[in-house]
Amino acid sequence: MSVIKVVEAWAESQPDKLLFSFLDVTGAEVERHTYASFLARADVIASHLAARRGLEPQSRVMLAFPPGLEMICALFACARAGVIAVPVVEPTGHAMAALLRIAHVAYDCGATLLLSNSEGRNALKAGLALAEPWLAGALAGVELLATESMIEAAGPAPRGPRGEIFFLQYTSGSTSRPKGVMVSQSNLIANRALVVDHDQPIGVSWLPQQHDMGLIGYFIYAAMSGGQTFALAPATFIQNPGLWLDTISRYRATASSAPNFAFEYCLKPGRIPEEILTRLDLSSLKFLMNAAEPVRPETYRRFLQKFRKYGLTPQSFFAAYGLAENTLAVASYGRKPLSVDRRALARNRVHVTSAAFAIDSAVQIMSSGVALGDNELRIVDPQTRATLGEDQVGEIWVTGPSKCLGYWRNPELTQEIFEARLTGGASNRDFLRTQDLGFIHDGEVYVCGRIKDMIIIRGQNIYPQDIEAAVEAASPAIRRGGVAAFALGDEHLGHIGVVAEVSEPQAPPDAAAIVAAVRRALAVDIGDIIFIPPRTLPKTSSGKVMRFLARDWLSAGRLKVLASLSRRDESQDDGAAAAPFSILRTRYRLTGDERITLLEAGVDSFDLVTLMHEVKEMLGERGESLLGKHVDVRLMQNITVADLFELQRRFEAAPDDVAVEMSRFVARTRAACLAEEEALMRKDRTLPFEPERPRAPPAEAPECVFLTGGTGFLGPFVLASLLAQTQAEINVLVRGQNSEEARARLLAQARDSGVASPEMVAAFERRVKVVHGALDQKRFGLSPDAWRQLANKTDAIYHGGALVNYLFTYQNMRDANIGGTAETLRLAFEGRPKQFNAISTTFIFGWANKDVLYESDNNDGMERLDFGYSQSKWASEQMVLDARRRGLATRVFRPALITPSVTGGGAAFDITTRLIAFIIKYGIGVDAMNQVSFTPADVTANNIVAIAQSPDTLGGTFHVTRDAYANMRNVTEIIARRTGSRFQMFQLKDFVPEVIRRCTRDDLIFPLVDFLIGSIDNISAMEFKRYDSTAYQAARDASPLGLPDPSLEDTVGAIVTFLERHSAI
């Protein structure tokens, strides 16, 4: 029996049944095949292969298709024609990396023909035209053929004898030593019987089609089982993970699989839109497998907890273990995390945690279930090759009909890996050495480490030989044959470590340059690189590097470290210290010599805070804690990368001398920044151009609206309100690679925010146009014609676009918040007369401590403005008021704290939701009298648009705040009732120290802790400040479309719903 015969039998009994359906990013079907049409298409391609001269039986034919169904047809066509298919990476995307991989595989398997579609063929040709001569030459003998031209059969479909090898599965991505696993017909038939546990499965898969879990599990096995598969591209999952789950729900799928990172990705806040969750039903699943990379117990628990209410059951959700060398699966149905002693595990012993005192030294490992069917699994001592008993750690060996034939044209490695024998006559069978470490407990397999060569990162396999060769090539100071690369980390093996012998111990090479070279060559990141003396790496008697032993020696401190470059591995919890500022080298690819600021280098807010903490810690360790208190985010945004590293080097050499200089530098930099901020703010408060006085806008309802900030937190709600309350065409300014991507981004943000009802989406499609541009560019980066057309048709502007960041300085927010306002006002003054609605904020008052802040107050004196966001919004509003004085018809709206919608909708976390998530998590509250004016985003947006519909409100300023006073004690009491939690209350002065004591890097509030610390005195001083909103209330109540404040109970309940929905609590 062959694979094709099995599929043919199903096609005879159900020819018209859907077999494969390929969906686009919206979930719409773009390709499909029934059983009959699939085999017919395979026959057409096979006939063309059979008609080709020089294509002998068992010739290798590479398949390099973009995601779709044609590659699967070509795979079966190769089997029909008696040639061996070799799936390779798709030729689009990172073209040069794809070319390298394809060239390596072509050389190893000896292929002379590559099948693709016209898109893939053209991408390959374009890449070859730009490639270096040696690379182009490596593929010169490979003919590129697009299968679209194979419309009609070139003759009868071949029915001749077929070989045992069904296809070659290449397990390495980009490598100079690729290894093709020979997957046989018998392997597939045997393994399918173990893996497919229910009749005629309905599968959903976004996994790469050239890799085993996607190709075998959801295309080959589906066709062999009478089932069907709905397929998505991997990029579609990354762009829209909700579509994966939605497709399972829509088609009542019974099976799906993904690596651990995918389940974590779906748990991230906002990744699965509420629109999908409201209709999600996973109860049809019989088989949801987490595999292909180490499974984290916490991910398994959180995913099951979140989606259990949507029909997911523990019986259908499990972890599994497998590898390409065993066709696909070895063990499955793992549902138990096991807590064991970490230190014992390091000594290859299993001590199950059974007492409370052992928790601190425990680590959890996820079960991979039981060995499937006729897979014979043993735990073996990798040195003695003796079988080990239960609760003993050793190498996992497996044998059975699923064990593949070996590596293509590599008999030596085939003998070593596929034909291993146990000592002592324990078995006369040949075993596959998986090179994974594991143990058996209560009959289930637990994978706890790796001694095999392969490193797995986010489901992608990388051979360490590739990394080792790249390290050697990067510097002549590295000894050839003296490099070991391996995975580090206990649970999530995504951290690559390298140990390298150097020729001259006194002069180790530049580690950062080597890391950068490896990344350029292989597109992988090295987490730790360690230089050691010559001839100190552990090796076998034949001179082969023992990578797993090198890793163990490094962990045990048995290697002499000459120099290193290291980053903190966030997946570990052992608190090991990283090299100072190493994140700049590893994550941002900086050398330490750049004369640019950290923000210019692309450092984000989270990492900026992390670096600030490192500076403070460095100063504290050298007795300069007082100086460390003056190091703030403003300073970190103005120091260059080179100065930062120079500071570290000089502190190491002469800390006393540097301390005085550092103190002067801090004082000088702070004074210069403050002076520059004040000068810029005074300059920016007026229009940067001289406009002509505009005509009054018409009293009629606007026909064309221009909106900025549409993809922000409030923007989707403003857009939805405009669609609901007006009949106008709405032009929205959106960044993006192109107009189509920008439009998709805008709609996605609406969906993520929970406003994309069917009615809203229908109106969106009819009336919303995207202006593809950027707020921080002159005239938004539009062409003169596009700018002129926009100015001439727009008669109302809603300007809410702004960079919201509590850490950035005024200078770093100026382009977006000041420049963006200036360009929007420029648009308002040109062309057709317009009304201008500015969405400002009560933060324009800074830390004002007046008893009452009236809507007529403008903070003209720039009082108590000490952080970039409040400064930039003040200057932006002042510019709008200047435009008002010059005749522009304006309204100014000042919301206070905008919270998720009354239904818990919203697509981002702000300071309010971050803080509430923290107090719920740790059960602490703040007892202060400060007014807390929470207004849901949908109510805020609705009332802004409603008030703007009345011509009588032009020239007004409105505090969009709650009518009734409330404080954080009121909020905390509501949360306690809603969640059943208990809270320990602290006075304001004691609350922040409690936050510091409890906060970790994983908490949402972490990046803002320093902001809270620096603001505590100001917050205390304004405890009795209140907002007047007389004009807002009157205008809102006068509008038939105005909405009253929802109750505080409902408002706070919506915040809790938002946090629950985004798995933040």
pLDDT tens digits for 927-953? 988 889 999 999 999 999 999 999 999
Give the pLDDT score at 453.
55
Q: 143: pLDDT confidence band, cut at 50, 70 and 90? A: very high
CB atoms within 10 A of CB 632: 17
Q: 684: pLDDT confidence band, cut at 50, 70 and 90? A: very high
Distance of CA 672 to the CA centre of its chain: 38
CB atoms within 10 A of CB 1038: 13
Instruction: Judge whether 701 and 791 are in contact, CB under 8 Å.
Output: no
Average pLDDT value for residue range 9-18: 97
**Model pLDDT for residues 637-678, shown as the tens digit of each residue:** 888 888 888 877 877 777 667 777 778 777 787 788 888 889
Q: Which of 325-339, 414-428, 630-644, 925-939 shows the lowest mean pLDDT across its residues?
A: 630-644
> 0.85 cut: is pTM over it?
no
Ranges of beta strands (E only) in 354-462 are 362-366, 370-371, 376-380, 394-399, 432-441, 444-450, 455-457, 460-462
Average pLDDT value for residue range 190-197: 96
The span from the CA of 951 to the CA of 707, in Å, is 19
3-state SS assignment for residue 366? strand
Average pLDDT value for residue range 590-616: 80
pLDDT(1025) > 80: yes
Rounded (to 5) percent helix, strand, coil in the chain: 40, 20, 40
Burial class of residue 7, CB neighbours in 10 A (0-12, 13-18, 19+): buried
**Model pLDDT for residues 239-261, shown as the tens digit of each residue:** 999 999 999 999 999 999 999 88
Average pLDDT value for residue range 754-764: 94
Distance of CA 960 to the CA centre of its chain: 35
Pick the residue with more confidence: 364 or 728?
Answer: 728
Average pLDDT value for residue range 146-152: 94
pLDDT(964) > 50: yes
pLDDT(629) > 80: no
Average pLDDT value for residue range 309-315: 93
Give the pLDDT score at 99.
82
Tokens of 636: 């970190």
Q: 362: pLDDT confidence band, cut at 50, 70 and 90? A: low
Can you say whether the dihedral through the CA atoms of 189, 195, 198, 204 is positive or negative?
Answer: negative
Pick the residue with more confidence: 751 or 663?
Answer: 751
Which helix H or strand E contains 837, and what residues bound it? strand 835-839
Give the pLDDT score at 359.
44
Give the pLDDT score at 5.
94
Q: 494: pLDDT confidence band, cut at 50, 70 and 90? A: low
Give the pLDDT score at 520.
63
Average pLDDT value for residue range 13-35: 97
End-to-end CA distance of the chain: 54
pLDDT(492) > 50: no
Average pLDDT value for residue range 533-537: 90
**Model pLDDT for residues 772-820, shown as the tens digit of each residue:** 999 989 999 999 999 999 999 999 999 999 988 888 889 888 999 999 9
The span from the CA of 282 to the CA of 280, in Å, is 7
Percent of the chain at pLDDT above 90?
A: 59
pLDDT(573) > 50: no
Instruction: Judge whether 229 and 220 are in contact, CB under 8 Å.
Output: no
Give the pLDDT score at 600.
81
Average pLDDT value for residue range 114-143: 85
Tokens of 954: 């032009």
The span from the CA of 828 to the CA of 780, in Å, is 13
Average pLDDT value for residue range 317-324: 95
Q: Which of 326-330, 551-555, 557-561, 892-896 shows the lowest mean pLDDT across its residues?
A: 551-555
Pick the residue with more confidence: 340 or 287?
Answer: 287
Percent of the chain at pLDDT above 70?
A: 91
Q: 176: pLDDT confidence band, cut at 50, 70 and 90? A: very low
pLDDT(495) > 80: no
pLDDT(339) > 60: yes
Pick the residue with more confidence: 617 or 849?
Answer: 849
pLDDT(397) > 80: yes
3-state SS assignment for residue 770? strand
Tokens of 28: 């719409």
Q: Which of 15-29, 432-446, 459-473 shows the lowest mean pLDDT across its residues?
A: 459-473
Average pLDDT value for residue range 858-869: 90
Q: 387: pLDDT confidence band, cut at 50, 70 and 90? A: very high
Give the pLDDT score at 286.
97
pLDDT(462) > 80: no
Give the pLDDT score at 542.
41
Tokens of 379: 């735990």
Give the pLDDT score at 360.
45
Instruction: Judge whether 228 and 202 are in contact, CB under 8 Å.
Output: yes
pLDDT(619) > 90: no
Query: Could you tell me which residues are beta bridge partners of residue 445?
Result: 440
The span from the CA of 805 to the CA of 339, in Å, is 41
Could you give the dihedral angle defined by the CA atoms of residues 420, 426, 428 and 433, in that order, rounded to the nearest 10 degrees?
A: -20
Going by the DSSP 8-state scheme, the letter that residue 817 receives in this structure is I
Average pLDDT value for residue range 340-354: 76
Q: Which residues, at least 6 apart from 836, have a Cβ–Cβ distance to it below 8 Å?
A: 797, 799, 824, 825, 828, 880, 883, 888, 889, 890, 891
The span from the CA of 803 to the CA of 47, in Å, is 60
Give the pLDDT score at 39.
97
Which helix H or strand E contains 318, and what residues bound it? strand 317-322
Average pLDDT of the chain to the nearest whole number: 88
Tokens of 358: 């052992």
376-412 as b/e, with b when 16 or more CB fall inside 10 Å? ebbbbbbeebebbeebebbbbbbbbbbbbbbbbebee
pLDDT(347) > 90: no
pLDDT(275) > 90: yes
Give the pLDDT score at 98.
75
CB atoms within 10 A of CB 912: 17
| Start-end of H helices in 381-431 | 411-418
Give the pLDDT score at 1001.
66
Q: Which of 8-17, 140-149, 153-162, 326-335 shows the lowest mean pLDDT across its residues?
A: 153-162
DSSP readout, 470-506?
Answer: HHHHH-TTEEEEEEEEEEE-SS---EEEEEEEES-TT
Q: 192: pLDDT confidence band, cut at 50, 70 and 90? A: very high
Q: How far is CA 1053 from CA 309, 692, 784, 982, in A?
A: 20, 49, 48, 16
Could you give the dihedral angle defined by the CA atoms of residues 506, 511, 517 and 523, in that order, rounded to the nearest 10 degrees?
A: 150
Residue found under tokens 């991989």: 101
Average pLDDT value for residue range 419-436: 89
Instruction: Judge whether 475 and 527 are in contact, CB under 8 Å.
Output: no
**Model pLDDT for residues 53-69, shown as the tens digit of each residue:** 889 999 999 999 999 99
* Helix 820-829 with 868-885: angle, nearest 10 deg: 20
* Structural domains present in the chain: 3-240 (3.40.50.12780), 463-579 (3.30.300.30), 607-684 (no CATH), 704-908+933-964+1026-1046 (3.40.50.720)
Pick the residue with more confidence: 425 or 714?
Answer: 714
* Helix 641-653 with 605-621: angle, nearest 10 deg: 20
Instruction: Judge whether 50 and 158 are in contact, CB under 8 Å.
Output: yes
Give the pLDDT score at 634.
78
Residue found under tokens 């989606």: 307
Q: What are phi and psi of 950, to 5 degrees?
A: -95, 120
